[in-house]
Amino acid sequence: MRIIIAAFLIAGFPCAASAADSMAFANNLGMMLASEGPCDLSFKQSAIEALIQKKVSAEDLGFTSMLQMMTSGSEIQIGEMSPSAKTAHCSQIRRSAKAYGFID
């Protein structure tokens, strides 16, 4: 198995690196989307769509299921936060949401 993965990486096969990037992006976006309600935000749907168009390959069939799983898991994590942790969390989410054009 290691030989196959190494061969793909040496040959420049994009799947291994882009799968990890896609998973990390789904994780981060899932956390942001799960934070919308608890942080009293309202995201621009067009900005979310534009970010997906820019960051996710059209051939990435696993992105949506990964995003759903990460969003659901993040909702649980946010629900278990202390008030101070939630304040810190929402502060950074608000900053990131603004940087990505999700909010004004």
32 within some domain: yes
Residue 69 is assigned to a structural domain of this protein = yes
Per the structure, the count of domains in the chain is 1
- Examine residue 9 and state whether it is found in any structural domain, yes or no: no
Residue-wise DSSP of the chain: -HHHHHHHHHTT-THHHHHHHHHHHHHHHHHHHHHTTTTT----HHHHHHHHHHHS-TT-TTHHHHHHHHHHHHHHHHHT--HHHHHHHHHHHHHHHHHTTS--
Q: Is residue 11 part of a domain?
A: no
State residue 13's pLDDT score.
40
- pTM exceeding 0.85: no
Instruction: Convert the pLDDT of each residue in 38-83 to its tens digit.
Output: 999 999 999 999 999 999 999 999 999 999 999 999 999 999 999 9
